[in-house]
Amino acid sequence: MADFDIVALGEPLVELNQTHKGQLQYLQGFGGDTSNAVIAAARQGARCAYLTRVGNDAFGKQFLDLWNAEGVDTSGVQVDDDAHTGLYFVQHGPDGHAFSYLRRGSAASLMTPATLQGGLIERARFLHVSGISMAISTSACDTVFAAIERAHAAGAQVSLDSNLRLRLWPVDRARAVLRETMRAADLFLPSMDDMQHLTGNDDPERTLDWIRDGGAAGVVVLKLGKDGSIIDDGRTRTPVAALRVDAVDATGAGDCFAGSLLARRCQGDSWEDAVRYANAAAALSTLGYGAVDPLPRAEQVWERLKSLSEGA
């Protein structure tokens, strides 16, 4: 039996989130897509660990304190004396949230396959990675592929979130790398927004066809934001409705979805039940500012799902 349900790999980022549109007030928090996901999973009761590198600075120490407080194993986190912990700013406007990054040369971007240590991947049920994990540097991309190879060799499943950031790499390279990676993934979690950039269309059915035609063999869950999700298991396509809320900040909602879905799968849920739960968790995560603080805990999600069931 695996020691961990989920081991995630990627880059943590200190978050400075604008609390009021148009005003120069920022709330410090924590971000980084796979870090958000693994914390979300831990809050749903999953046994989690994180693989990354942080700077030997105040922010790096804060991250270590955060993961330890959340029950995320940090034995695979390396501290770099010469590189910094990355950070980003979130601003909010009429078109949603906009990101500005200070991550070039971050400790995490300097990861290499040789830095994968601790045997954590071999002790996991799922390895979770993302497009960002591969986009931050060539060596990080190599590290993700090495991690996937190790996961499959150990019998673990691989979860891939598309998380496309075109500021980090050209769309042609992103398309090529993500298509190669999704072929190796047991679970692919693309968003419709990401796939519009990669496929040039805005139709979910055609998008899922493109993914399958590209060689994806695992389960695909296409995230449609406020319109919910579609599960494609290679045989059938099942839509799952979103939970309607008055969102204030969607930062990290997709990461919450990923971590919550993996946690529920590890706890025995069917795909449809796990996605329904993840939809609810992701919606609840938009009710506060920041990527980590609003991530709901299991009791909050179950309470909301129960209230919906009773009101049906």
Q: Give the distance between the most distant pair of CA atoms in the chain.
A: 56
Cβ neighbourhood burial of 26 (10 Å; 0-12, 13-18, 19+): middle
Phi, psi of 71 (to 5 degrees): 80, 20
Per the annotation, the verdict on 255 as an active-site residue is: yes
Which of 73, 249, 255, 273 is labelled catalytic? 255
Which two tokens mark 287?
Answer: 């009710």
Encode burial over 263-273: b for 16+ CB neighbours within 10 A, e otherwise.
Answer: bbbbeebebee
**How many DSSP H helices and E strands does the chain contain?**
10, 13
Round the CA-based radius of gyration of the chain to a whole number and report it.
Answer: 18
Q: What is the spatial distance between Cα 75 and Cα 161, in angstroms, rounded to a whole number?
A: 24
Positions marked catalytic? 255
